[in-house]
């Protein structure tokens, strides 16, 4: 057992003593290292003021990503590289090109949010190429500013490479440093390393076999992947986590495999990596995925975690249900495969046994001619919880519906298919009369609730109208999609 985490910071090795395995990186930076450039705004991964950049080895090379330090546990940094806003001193001790660009374009006023913007832009800068406006907007969508406005900040992002591209790190040297560190990391001992402090015990397995044995021995443990949910249990709910098993370094859970007719996505694959694959198969799925959280959240949050928590308003399950996806669960007793729709039993209840965890998601490639649509309706376009998430998949032959899947999130206690609406369409002509009949049948499929995001009546009407929207788009009669924004069809 050890209480030390080792990571690289500014080219030097840091051996951090972890008194509490659930302490966040933000807390450690501010109170132990006095790196107060990283700010605390929301403590829930929403505002981006705490953004830092983490580098880790992948396929023999170092890859950098912007993440939220406020919900990232310090213990998960073992064997990685950390960069904070203080790390950006230029070679001559002056401002980094990213910082200088913000100064020259007047991209900062009160300055509280500025370090987070700097680090989000720095992650973009590390790609080494000038970014498009869309890429810039995507990179800073998770950073909130109430003073400057985004115009000058976007100008800074377009200017930072002009000011200087000679501040890019030596990636070969960074990779070698992390490889050397990886051979000597403290926690990863025989795949079952452990630290403890206070009332929390933290395990960090690196193989699927070690994880399976650990979880069998500790079936009540919290499985920690990206921490975008569990992190809030600590920062917002002030929960004490008794036993935590981090799955973030289990290599098998981070694999994506193309098996010809389907793709296998490890449960530990983050949204950003999964989106690159799934959007190529189902473009509308990718359109919804880019609205799940921010770049920082998608760089940390995992597909498996979104499914495993069983939320009725999780965005991925409806999209995967209509794609006829399956999940593979593993335990000490072996593996079993089930349709993803059968994984959700009731509110807060999933088909998962003690000591069993999600290993991967199997997503079939779309059949030729499959019509697929996915829509997210929320009050705010970016970083908002869905009021309704809808997905449709229809295959026709000679104008008749031969296969149909309709699934919604936010309409029931679980992500759920609209069975009666599907039955109304199956074997019928794919025309407006059939769609209107299916819309009416949805009233028997769902009894949605009213909450702060939407009323029950609104949810039902929106669900019905989204089916009509899907139909009209497939017919090419109207073009209503604008960056996946959802106008309501008026009957």
Residue 487 resides in a domain: no
How many domains does the chain divide into? 4
pLDDT of residue 477: 65
**Residue 211 near residue 20, CB atoms below 8 Å:** no
| pLDDT bucket at 483, cuts 50 / 70 / 90 | very low
In 3-state terms, what secondary structure has residue 227? coil
Judge whether residue 301 has pLDDT over 60: yes
pLDDT at residue 286, rounded to an integer:
94
Q: Are 59 and 189 part of one and the same domain?
A: yes
Residues 265-292 have pLDDT tens digits of: 999 999 999 999 999 999 999 999 999 9
Encoded tokens for 224: 């920690």
Please check whether residue 105 lies inside any domain of the structure.
Answer: yes
Phi, psi of 210 (to 5 degrees): -65, -40
Please tell me the least confidently modeled range out of 105-119, 158-172, 200-214: 158-172
* End residue of a domain, out of 199, 215, 246: 246
Q: Tell whether 97 and 232 lie within a shared domain.
A: no
Is 379 in the same domain as 447? yes
Contact status, residue 291 vs residue 382, Cβ threshold 8 Å:
yes
pLDDT band at 93 (very low <50, low <70, confident <90, very high): confident
Of 246, 268, 283, the residue that ends a domain is: 246
CB 477: neighbour CB atoms within 10 A? 10
Residue 484 lies in a domain: no
485 versus 117: the higher-pLDDT residue is: 117
303 and 216 in a common domain: no
The DSSP secondary structure of 39-61, one letter per residue, reads --SSSSSSS-TTEEEEEEEETTE
Q: What is the CATH number of the domain that holds 427?
A: 3.30.390.50
When pLDDT is cut at 50, 70 and 90, the band that residue 490 belongs to is very low
pLDDT at residue number 2: 67
Q: Per residue in 165-188, pLDDT tens?
A: 666 778 888 888 888 877 555 444
Q: Is 436 helix (H, G, I), strand (E, B) or coil?
A: helix
DSSP 162-208: HH-STT---HHHHHHHHHHHHTT-SS-STT-EEEEETTEEEEE--SH
Average pLDDT for 408-427: 97
Dihedral (CA of 30, 33, 38, 43) sign: negative
189 band by pLDDT with thresholds 50, 70 and 90: very low
Residue 194 pLDDT grade (very low, low, confident, very high; cuts 50, 70, 90): low
Q: Are 333 and 352 contained in the same domain?
A: yes
* Cα gap 72→24, rounded to integer Å: 5
Q: Is the pLDDT of residue 53 over 80?
A: yes
Cβ 211 vs Cβ 247: under 8 Å: yes
The mean-pLDDT minimum among 56-70, 191-205, 398-412, 431-445 falls in 191-205
Distance of alpha carbon 315 from alpha carbon 460, whole angstroms: 17
> Which position has the higher pLDDT, 166 or 20?
20
Torsion of CA 146, 152, 155, 156, to 10 degrees: -80
Whether 433 maps to a domain, the answer reads yes
Q: Which structure tokens are listed for 166?
A: 């000679």
Q: What is the pLDDT of residue 485?
A: 44
| Category of 307 on φ-ψ map: left (φ > 0), alpha (ψ -120 to 50) or beta | alpha
d(Cα 52, Cα 142) in Å, to the nearest integer?
12
Q: How confident is the model at residue 464 (pLDDT cuts 50, 70, 90)?
A: very high
Classify residue 482: in a domain, yes or no.
no
Q: Are residues 103 and 145 in the same domain?
A: yes
Can you give the pLDDT at residue 181?
Answer: 79
Residue 484: what pLDDT?
Answer: 46
Q: What is the CA radius of gyration of the chain?
A: 23
pLDDT tens profile 235-257: 999 998 889 999 998 999 999 99
- 127 bridge partner residues: none
Q: Which residues on neighbouring strands pair with residue 349, listed in sequence order?
A: 346
In a 3-state reduction of DSSP, which class is residue 19? coil
**Do 134 and 179 lie in a common domain?**
no
Q: If you write DSSP's letter for every residue of 86-137 in order, what string do you get? A: GGG--TTSS--HHHHHHHHTT--SS-SSHHHHHHHHHHHHTT-SPPPHHHHH
Q: How far is it, in rounded angstroms, from Cα 264 to Cα 327?
A: 9
What does the pLDDT read at residue 201?
Answer: 87
Chain mean pLDDT for the chain: 90
| 73 and 198 inside one domain | yes
Confidence of residue 25 (pLDDT cuts 50, 70, 90): very high
Same domain, 109 and 204: no
CA pair distance 243, 161, nearest whole angstrom: 45
pLDDT band (50, 70, 90) for residue 164 = confident
pLDDT of residue 165: 65
Residues 355 and 378 placed together within one structural domain of the fold: no
pLDDT at 152 over 50: yes
Nearest Cα neighbor of 466 from 482, 489, 449 is: 489
**328 belongs to a structural domain:** yes
66 or 175, higher pLDDT = 66
What tokens were used for 362? 């199997």
Residue 435 Rama label (left phi>0; alpha psi -120 to 50; beta): alpha
pLDDT at 456: 94
> In this predicted structure, what is the pLDDT of residue 486?
45
pLDDT tens-digit readout, 316-326:
999 999 999 99
- The reported pLDDT for the residue numbered 92 is 74
* Per-residue pLDDT at 193 exceeds 90: no
Q: What is the pLDDT of residue 252?
A: 95
Domain boundaries, position 415: 371-475
β-strand 262-266 against 357-364: which pairing, if any?
Answer: antiparallel
By DSSP bridging, strand 357-364 and strand 326-331 are: antiparallel
Residue 150: left (phi > 0), alpha (psi -120 to 50), or beta? alpha
142 vs 134: CA distance, rounded Å: 14
Of 312, 329, 364, the residue at which a domain comes to its end is 364
Would residue 341 count as lying in a domain?
Answer: yes
Whether 402 is covered by a domain: the verdict is yes
% of the chain with per-residue pLDDT over 90: 73
Average pLDDT over residues 447-468: 94
- pLDDT for residue 478: 57
Q: What is the CATH number of the domain that holds 334?
A: 3.30.465.10
337 shares a domain with 257? yes
Is the pLDDT at 472 greater than 60? The verdict is yes
Least confident of 219-223, 253-257, 380-384: 380-384
| Judgement on whether residues 220 and 360 belong to the same structural domain of the protein | no
pLDDT at residue number 487: 40
Secondary structure letter of residue 195 according to DSSP: E
- What is the three-class DSSP state of 153? helix
With beta carbons less than 8 A apart as the criterion, state whether 89 and 96 touch.
yes
Q: 74-89: buried (b, 16+ CB within 10 Å) or exposed (e) per residue?
A: bbbbbbbbbbbbbbbe
């Amino acid at each position: 057992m050890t209480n030390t985490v080792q990571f690289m910071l500014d080219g030097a090795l840091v051996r951090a003593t972890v008194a509490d395995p659930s302490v966040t990186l933000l807390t450690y930076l501010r109170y132990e290292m006095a790196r107060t450039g990283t700010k605390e705004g929301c403590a829930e991964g929403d505002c981006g003021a705490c953004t830092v950049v983490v580098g880790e080895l992948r396929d023999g090379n170092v890859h950098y990503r912007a993440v939220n330090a406020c919900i990232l546990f310090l213990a998960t940094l073992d064997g990685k590289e950390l960069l904070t806003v203080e790390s950006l001193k230029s070679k001559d001790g002056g401002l980094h090109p990213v910082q200088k660009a913000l100064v020259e374009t007047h991209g900062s006023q009160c300055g509280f949010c500025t370090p987070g913007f700097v680090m989000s832009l720095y992650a973009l800068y590390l790609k080494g190429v000038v970014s498009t406006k869309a890429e810039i907007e995507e990179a800073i969508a998770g950073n909130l500013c109430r003073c400057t406005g985004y115009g000058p900040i976007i100008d800074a992002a377009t200017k930072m490479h002009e000011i200087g591209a000679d501040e890019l790190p030596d990636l070969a040297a960074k990779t070698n440093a992390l490889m050397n560190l990886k051979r000597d990391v403290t926690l990863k001992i025989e795949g079952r390393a452990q630290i403890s402090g206070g009332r929390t015990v933290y395990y960090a397995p690196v193989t699927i076999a070690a994880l399976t044995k650990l979880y069998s021995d500790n079936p009540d443990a919290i499985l920690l992947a990206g921490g975008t949910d569990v992190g809030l249990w600590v920062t917002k709910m002030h929960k004490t986590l008794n036993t935590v098993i981090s799955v973030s370094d289990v290599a098998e859970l981070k694999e994506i495999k193309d098996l010809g007719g389907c793709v296998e996505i490890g449960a530990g694959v983050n949204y950003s990596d999964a989106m690159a694959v799934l959007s190529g198969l189902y473009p509308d799925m990718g359109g919804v995925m880019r609205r799940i959280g921010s770049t920082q959240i998608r760089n940390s949050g995992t597909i498996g975690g979104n499914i495993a928590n069983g939320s009725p308003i999780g965005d991925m399950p409806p999209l995967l249900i209509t794609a006829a996806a399956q999940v593979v669960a593993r335990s000490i007793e072996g593996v079993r495969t089930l349709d993803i729709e059968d994984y959700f039993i009731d509110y807060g209840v999933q088909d998962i046994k003690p000591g069993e965890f999600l290993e991967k998601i199997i997503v079939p490639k779309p059949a030729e001619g499959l019509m697929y649509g996915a829509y997210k309706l929320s009050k705010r376009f970016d970083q908002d919880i869905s009021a309704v998430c809808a997905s449709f998949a229809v295959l026709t032959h000679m104008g008749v519906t031969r296969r149909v899947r309709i699934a919604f999130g936010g309409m029931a206690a679980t992500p759920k298919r609209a069975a009666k609406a599907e039955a109304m369409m199956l074997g019928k002509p794919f025309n407006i009369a059939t769609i209107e009949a299916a819309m009416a049948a949805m009233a028997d499929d769902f009894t949605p609730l009213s909450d702060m995001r939407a009323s029950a009546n609104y949810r039902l009407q929106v669900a019905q109208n989204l089916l009509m929207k899907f139909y009209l788009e497939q017919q090419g009669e109207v073009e209503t999609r604008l960056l996946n924004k959802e106008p309501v069809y008026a009957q």
